[in-house]
Amino acid sequence: MNLCQIIAESAPPRGEMLSDPGTSLSGCRVALLSCGQFDPPSYAHLRMFERARDFLVRTMGCKVVEGIMSVAGDSTKTRTSAKHRLRMVETAVRKNFWIRAGDFECNQKSPIRQIAVLKHYQKKLQQKHDEPIRVLYVCGSEVLDELVSVQPNRTPLWNHAEIKELLQRHGLIVLKRSRTHPSHTIYLTDILRQYQKNIYVIEDETFPNDLRCSRIRTALRRGESVKYCLDDDVIEYINENNLYRESPDDDNDQSASGISTLSEPNLTCSASSSRIRRNTDDEKVPPEPPQRGSSEKASERYRTSTVSASIASGLDRFAVPEMVTVGRAVYR
């Protein structure tokens, strides 16, 4: 039995926590916090909060007092200013009775650690409510991989002490995305495995989606419709402020939309000839091959048609009968 089979057999049922049921979270009053760029905020972000709340209320017996979408501040990685992103989040949740926009993070003069954001809202909520409140961090499963990932300068995005405090004092609600394996990440990471009782992996089987902000930005830049991906008022705000119309240099939208690019240097595409040629002026064009006579062409066509007919007649002997599908069963 290989490692993947062992992990698959030891993985918990979907929508349940990754440990034996405990009393640390059952029946607690909790708040949900998610930190991100929200560039722009989409229905996928709101749906993540709703699914996490549904799981906590119906499965764990918790009372969710509120949800907070903490907007990250401006940095070299952000494409849209924090002012616009905060306004879009406020617009997206204007009719929601329990989710609100958080401006603490984006109002800081310099970027702050997300564990500091958790501490801030933990303190504020505790002052607001008489009973104890536990702030849980909610995110997609791709963020779980980022917890243990290393930046290009070989420094971790989250250090060991921050991960320990996040899991020990707060907790993590992870919404599983496609092409991710959070159970494997937890199993193979010592710190996550140690505190796995405070990690809850859930799935949205009602409305599974893989909507990414980069794809929405690509569609907006191209003038394509994003209706039913974003709130109508958010779309109106984007149009009024002319956002996402220019192509940013650091946005990897081509790879996200499935467009491959040429990596070989000094290659250009000639519009007149629709051929790829090298960008060198002194390169000589190779001569065209000599044209064959009419008798040679006729002989070649005869040989090709004969071979094709032979192949077709041979394949007829191995013809597969038509398949008839009834429900999920396939009959021949």
255-278 confidence digits (pLDDT tens):
333 333 333 333 333 333 333 333
Q: For residue range 49-92, what is the model confidence (pLDDT) as tens digits? A: 999 999 999 999 999 999 999 999 998 677 899 999 999 999 99
pLDDT of residue 316: 47
Residue 148's pLDDT band (boundaries 50, 70, 90)? confident
pLDDT of residue 7 exceeding 70: no
104-107 own/partner pairs: CB under 8 Å, 24+ apart: 104/70, 105/35, 105/70, 105/71, 105/72, 105/73, 106/70, 106/71, 106/72, 106/73, 106/74, 106/82, 107/73
Higher pLDDT: 304 or 16? It is: 304
Measured CA to CA, the distance from residue 199 to residue 194 in angstroms comes to 10
pTM of the model: 0.68
Average pLDDT, the chain: 77
Phi, psi at 102, each rounded to 5°: -110, 125
pLDDT band at 97 (very low <50, low <70, confident <90, very high): very high
| The pLDDT of residue 173 is above 60 | yes
- The structural architecture, per CATH, of the domain 10-214 is 3-Layer(aba) Sandwich (3.40)
Q: Residues of the chain with pLDDT > 70: what percent?
A: 67
